[in-house]
Amino acid sequence: MSKKLRKTYGKADAPSTVALMRLIETQSKITVANWTLNYAEQKLLPLFLKRCPNDERPAHAIAAAREWLDGKVKLPYVKNIILNECHAAARELDDNPVAQAAARAIGQSAGSIHAAPHSLGLYFYAAAAVGYDRLGLDADEAEYEVIAEEVCADYTAALRVVAVENEPNPAVCKWNC
């Protein structure tokens, strides 16, 4: 691999990303967290496990986040798993960009339980994971950005399915991108 790979794809100022952000802002933190966890479990965990079948750390982060949503554990317990298991798995995978990006995306999904803007991080890392999985590591940047747009559309569609119309308690989102 001759070029330095990007950790994420997608653009924060792209119309599709801005539309996703506006939709996220209309939903409760619980809706956002459940949506990101479901998406990560259905779309990204399989990519990770295809390359790291014996590493359960990202799956453990999803499970711990769900336990928090169910009121069974405290947030520090989940944060420890996110940081010391899921993100640690990602840091160990410099030689496996698909699994690394998938683990980072899963970590962002688990992090959405305490901060809804983490849901956008899932998108950016998912775009890299899916792009590297589909195109390999040597495609043109423009090809990866096409995949990022497809991932954004899929992710947005998944939120529209579970979105609560006129949500009375929308999440507070301070976007840092």
Give 49-60 pLDDT, tens digit per residue.
Answer: 999 999 999 999
Note whether residue 176 is domain-resident: no
Query: How many domains are there within the chain?
Result: 1
Residue at 10 is within a domain: no
Tokens of 86: 């899921």
Residue 104 lies in a domain: yes
Q: Which residues of 131-158 are buried (b: 16+ CB within 10 A; e: fewer)?
A: bbbeeeeeeeeeebbebbbebbeebbeb
- Predicted confidence (pLDDT) per residue in 68-127, tens digit: 999 999 999 999 999 999 999 999 999 999 999 999 999 999 999 999 999 999 999 999
Asked whether residue 7 is assigned to any structural domain, the reply reads: no
Q: What's the pTM value of the predicted model, to 2 decimals? A: 0.96
Residue-range definition of the domain harbouring residue 77: 16-162
Residue 118: inside a domain: yes
Domain for residue 4, yes or no? no
pLDDT by residue (tens digit) across 60-69?
Answer: 999 999 999 9
Q: Is residue 1 part of a domain?
A: no
Does residue 76 lie within any of the structural domains? Answer: yes
- Listed residue (113, 90, 83, 115) closest to 8, CA to CA: 90
